[in-house]
Amino acid sequence: MAAGTPPPAGAAARMSGFMAHLRRNGFAVGPGETELVLSTLAANEFPNADAARLGLKTMLSGSREQWARFDDLFDAYWFERGLRTVERLGQSTATRSHRPRPDIWDKVLPADEQAEAQGRTDRAPGIGQGDGEKTSGRLVASAGDALMRTDLRTLVTPDEMAEAERTAERLARAIRYRLSRRRLPSRRGEIIDLRRTIRRSISHGGEPVELRRKHRPERPVKLVVLLDVSGSMKVYSRYFLSFVRGLIGTWLRADAFLFHTRLVRVADVLRESDANIAMAKLSLLVEGFGGGTRIATSLKAFNDRYAKETLGSRSVAIVISDGYDTDPPEALAVELQRVKRRAYRLIWLNPLLGWKDYAPVARAMAVALQYVDCFAPAHSLESLAALEDEFARL
Amino acid sequence: MKLEYAPLQRDLAGVGYIADDSLAMALSLAVGLQRPLLLEGEAGVGKTDVGKALAKVLDTRLIRLQCYEGLDANATIYEWNYQRQLLAIRAHERDAMPSDQIERHIFSEDYLLRRPLLEAISQTKPPVLLIDEIDRADEEFEAFLLEILSDFQITVPELGTIAAKSTPHVILTSNGTRALSDALRRRCLYSYLDFPDERKELAIVHARLPGIDRRLAEQVVRFVQLLRREALEKKPGIAETLDWARALVGLDVRSIDGDPVTIQASLACLLKTEADLKAVPREVTARIVGKVA
């Protein structure tokens, strides 16, 4: 690449090997990028290896993470393990379309990615959600059902559990649907659309007879869910995972995180169209955690890394946790305040709140209450259904 | 052609912008390949100034588009001058001009208000187009920008397609308040700007404040470097460093281990939120000053 460049054909092969190397490491580089690099190299010459590194880094990385990793990947390919990678060049086309994922997932996942097949049609309100079930705006109608009032802990049989999961998911979809409707355009806008009004007025001799109007459509809120999957929440985990999955579903403006002693982003996994696959992937993620609950630490991780890009003036943050925290309550207060400052609303769902005679005496919970806009029970499907009104008011 | 970034780096320094190697290389490539450059980094690392400096070096116009939520095509490409159009309709009506002729007349370029994007592609000498804080604009705008950045042509329904007279040098900046689409990232060259290291920041201070005392400049830079390591909500950027240095010069402070009250009060230049001001009480300031002086 530097002075003493190998013959063009070899250079091209080496370069596409480098591309494959980057792809294997999660870079989204395709033929377009390869062509850009090759044509740049054909027309120009980098004075030294360092300049080449900087040039390629600029052309091929696309985010801060990739920017930070590029130098190591570059050195690994061109200076240390170069030959070995070239030998593997033949395989590069086969690996191209695969998203990098831990090997362990291969046991639970089919070879082909399902993300592509996922429908994006939910944007049009009123269209069935694809699971064949009727997703009406309100599902509370079935609230009389005994199952709805049972504390989720007491559900035992697989059938009941499956039913509970389905209902949770339906409820979540109903909430989302309710919110999405707000984006329907109103017929009468407040602002006069001058551009089209003037166009129209020409045939009336410049008299603006027909007023054309426009409006600024309301946008759906963005949901960010933080779900506690620690030991004390274990009995509820499956339901809440389904609940969160329903919320995230195919709604693009949503993000989800699980926490325990640390925090993991799971929105992509939850968007998996097959529930079983998603659950299998999630259980793998959950099992990786240690014991205890560190809410404040997890929230801190969220605030430091993700809050800036996920929370905005239209975001609603939902924390689902029983509030048993091994971190000091003061730390939780600080972190909740930080979340509150960025998000539009902060909701805390607590399964314990549904218990008879429960008072939020856990110290962390008592502290948290000061910063929470809405503190609601979430111990039964009925209580989740009741949330619909709360959400609609947002 | 040899891809050297050193000349550009020198030129940038000549107009008072200190660029490190990677940024200089990114800019050389962006100019050489005529590709948009996406600059990411914390607020206050000098992303916007890159555009200004590049325009100075290339001796060309800087056209700036500040993004905000709700930004739409009308505000970025073109708008018809409605007032003039209304007047023209009235005036021509009296001349008994047929309506289709009036239409053709009022939808001509005379009545077109050029907004930054249209302005940028209608220059004969390629300008620097600075699209600032693209992460503040909505996703819809991003998609639409993508189309313009790939074709450099704009379609006005009443006029037809306007092709670019020259390809502008496009610089996009982002603070990372929203994840940008992969499509946009792939269209662009990429560079991440970090807070400058001590040497670079010192060079910046000297470039911007030529009169400053050598020792004070060193102390200021070291202090800010250490301050950035504290757990702050909003880390002070380069502009803050320069403000503070200016303030200290104005307050006639020779060395920051002087009067602690003055120093503490002047920290308002560096710390811009109440929480951060509280996070750096006198003891912390004294500790950092102790390490610096």
Output the pLDDT for position B50: 93
Give residue-wise pLDDT tens across range B117-138: 999 999 999 999 999 999 888 7
Give residue-wise pLDDT tens across range B26-74: 999 999 888 999 999 888 888 989 999 999 999 999 999 999 877 877 7
Which of A59, A66, A308 faces B29 most closely, judged by CB atoms? A59
Q: Which of A75-84, A86-95, B3-12 has the largest mean confidence?
A: B3-12
pLDDT confidence bin for A188, thresholds 50/70/90: low
pLDDT confidence bin for A351, thresholds 50/70/90: confident
| Residues in chain B closer than 8 A to A51 (CB atoms) | 3-5, 25
CA A103 to chain centre: 22
Whether A136 contacts chain B with CB within 8 A: no
Which of B3, B38, B177 faces A51 most closely, judged by CB atoms? B3
Output the pLDDT for position A127: 34
Output the pLDDT for position A390: 66
Q: What are the φ and ψ backbone dihedral angles of A374, each rounded to 5 degrees?
A: -140, 125
Which of B1, B22, B176 faces A44 most closely, judged by CB atoms? B1
Residue of B nearest to A61 (CA): B190
Q: Which of A86-95, A143-152, A382-391 has the largest mean confidence?
A: A382-391
Largest CA distance in chain B: 84
Distances (CA, A) of A164 to A26, A225, B62: 38, 20, 60
CA B179 to chain centre: 19
DSSP string, B30-50: HHHHT--EEEEE-TTSSHHHH
Residue of B nearest to A46 (CA): B3
Mean pLDDT within B141-153: 85
Q: Which residue has the tokens 């929470």?
A: A372
Chain A residues 184-203 with CB within 8 Å of chain B: 194-195, 198, 201-203
> Is a pLDDT exceeding 80 seen at residue B276?
yes
* Lowest-pLDDT choice from A143-147, A162-166, B134-138: A143-147
> Is a pLDDT exceeding 70 seen at residue A138?
no
pLDDT confidence bin for B9, thresholds 50/70/90: very high
Output the pLDDT for position A99: 41
Output the pLDDT for position B201: 93
Whether A70 contacts chain B with CB within 8 A: no
| Residues in chain B closer than 8 A to A55 (CB atoms) | 3, 25, 29
Query: Is residue A314 classed as helix, strand or coil in its secondary structure?
Result: coil
ipTM: 0.82
| Residues in chain B closer than 8 A to A217 (CB atoms) | none
Q: A242 exposed, middle or buried (CB, 10 Å; 0-12, 13-18, 19+)?
A: buried
Interface-testing mutation among A23, A58, A60, A344, with chain B (most B C-beta atoms within 10 A): A58
Q: Which of A244-253, A301-310, A342-351, B183-192 has the largest mean confidence?
A: B183-192
Where b means 16+ CB within 10 Å and e means fewer, B258-271 reads eeeeebbebbebbb
More confident residue, B223 or A48: B223
Collect all residues from B whose CB is shorter than 8 A from any CB in A. Answer: 1-5, 21-22, 25-26, 29-30, 32-33, 37-38, 40, 70, 74, 79-80, 82, 85-86, 89-90, 93, 99, 102-103, 106, 176-179, 182, 185-186, 188-192
> Is a pLDDT exceeding 60 seen at residue B238?
yes
Q: Which of A29-43, A231-245, A314-328, A374-388 has the largest mean confidence?
A: A29-43
Q: Which of B73, B51, B63, B192 has its CA nearest to residue B137?
A: B73
> Is a pLDDT exceeding 60 seen at residue A279?
yes
Q: Which residue has the tokens 């001009």?
A: B97
Tell me the pairing of strands B62-66 and B128-132. parallel
> Is a pLDDT exceeding 70 seen at residue A120?
no
Verify whether the Cβ–Cβ distance A67 to B186 is below 8 Å.
no
How far is A17 from chain B, CA to nearest CA, in Å? Answer: 19
H helices present in A249-362, as ranges: 267-270, 275-287, 295-301, 307-310, 329-342
Residue of B nearest to A252 (CA): B139
> Is a pLDDT exceeding 90 seen at residue B11?
yes
* Lowest-pLDDT choice from A131-135, A272-276, B23-27, B201-205: A131-135
Mean pLDDT within A360-384: 76
Output the pLDDT for position A150: 55
Which of B70, B85, B176 faces A308 most closely, judged by CB atoms? B176
Output the pLDDT for position B130: 95
Mean pLDDT within A363-368: 78
Angle at A63 between CA B276 and CA B74, to 5 degrees: 85
What gap in Å lies between CA B17 and CA B22, rounded to an integer? Answer: 14
Whether A68 contacts chain B with CB within 8 A: yes
Which of B21, B40, B192 faces A54 most closely, judged by CB atoms? B21
Output the pLDDT for position B91: 84
Averaged pLDDT score across all residues of chain B: 88
Averaged pLDDT score across all residues of chain A: 69
Q: What are the φ and ψ backbone dihedral angles of A254, each rounded to 5 degrees?
A: -155, 155
Whether A61 contacts chain B with CB within 8 A: yes
Q: Quick check: A63 and B188 in contact, CB under 8 A?
A: no
